[in-house]
Amino acid sequence: MIALGMLAALAGCNRQEPAKSAQLPAEVVVVTVQPRTVPAVFPFVGQVQSSHQVDIMARVSGFLEKISYQEGGPVKHGQVLFQIDKKPFVAAADAAKAEVDTRKSQLFTAKANLERVRPLAEQNAASKSDLDNAIGNFKGAEAGLQQAQANYAKALLDVGYTTITSPISGVSGQALMREGAYISAGSSSAKLTYVAKLDPVWVDFSISQNQQATVRQQVESGQLIRPKDGRFTTELELSDGSRYPQTGVVNFADPSYSKDTGTYLVRAEIANPKGGLRPGMYVKVWLKGASRPNALVVPQRAVQQSGNGNVLYVVNDKQQAELRPVTVGDWLGNDWIITQGLRPGERVVVDGFMRLAPGAPVKVVAADEPQQAGPVAQAAR
């Protein structure tokens, strides 16, 4: 009998212990979500372009005599890059100058003859035909001189074109022709190199039709506010994950979509004083300037992944844990923007949820203050 009594007592203890442990609330840290305005930042992949790139072309044909710059190095406006053999062009200019002198002599003779014939014609001592011939010879000599002077000017230009200088300051490309090569103006051999301006640079990125439609819907519904002055800015992230120190400004948006890609081009201008950005580089572009009013933001650690999507725990009025499916929007610094599934004023568990189960009692031991949004937001769906 005593043994049976002991067994009954032990059985009773086993039945009461789970019930007692089930009543112990889990201690959690919560944050109370309130609507606030946060920056809207959109990520794109961009490519750096020179803000002013010029192909260096030969304007006259001839043999390349000298390459006068360091290939790939910086060059200044007006710096000599190439020298074409100028001796044939100097000779042609001398011949053109001699032709000018000849035409001047002819004009002098024609003018003197006209001055003799005109008074005689007025006194009927010379025929009208003689006067007409004298006038014609004078005007022909004038035209011949003008033509000779134009040829001389063209010859001087050609002499000048044999010295090829940089039209801008920037970095130079590889020389496409070497010394001794014959360059034919107007052909493919006329392209000698390029010079690209590096400060500032342009960063090109594309926006798809779907992205544009989504933004338009959010603007119309009040979920997104464009900058009042229409001024969008950009920040760049380099391939190594570092942030480029300069901020850019959007200065162009193509009004038409590309027929090949279905996107339209957007361009930002950004200072590049140290030349760290080079044409052709790929960078991550963060487009900033818009804002999201009445956004509900929770710390990233509060959101968990489940088989049915994203979930988080909310402490309800009964001090119980409620598992709530949510839809996340932009990733703002260390926070998520919650677009669906959460209401203002609700308490979201940010610490201690690993010990929770739906409907379990909880004890709020601390409340985190919501953090301000960071400068970078990644659109993560």
Tens digits of residue pLDDT in 140-158: 999 999 999 999 999 999 9
- Confidence band for 7, pLDDT divided at 50, 70 and 90: very low
Q: What per-residue confidence (pLDDT) applies to 370?
A: 53
Where in the chain do CATH 2.40.420.20 domains reside?
23-37+293-379
Q: What per-residue confidence (pLDDT) applies to 353?
A: 76
162: phi then psi, degrees, rounded to nearest 5: -70, -20
Mean pLDDT within 322-342: 88
| CATH tag, 23-37+293-379 | 2.40.420.20
Where in the chain do CATH 2.40.30.170 domains reside?
41-51+197-292
Flag whether the pTM goes above 0.85. no
Where in the chain do CATH 1.10.287.470 domains reside?
86-161
User: How is domain 41-51+197-292 classified at the CATH fold level?
Assistant: Elongation Factor Tu (Ef-tu); domain 3 (2.40.30)
Token pair of 5 as six digits: 């009594």
**Selection from 28-32, 151-155, 319-323 with the highest mean pLDDT:** 151-155
β-sheet with 182-183: strand ranges across: 163-165, 80-84, 62-67, 182-183
Q: What per-residue confidence (pLDDT) applies to 356?
A: 85
pLDDT at 2 over 90: no
pLDDT at 243 over 90: yes
pLDDT at 4 over 80: no
Taking the C-alpha atoms of residue 77 and residue 60, their distance in angstroms, rounded to an integer, is 21
CATH architecture, range 86-161: Orthogonal Bundle (1.10)
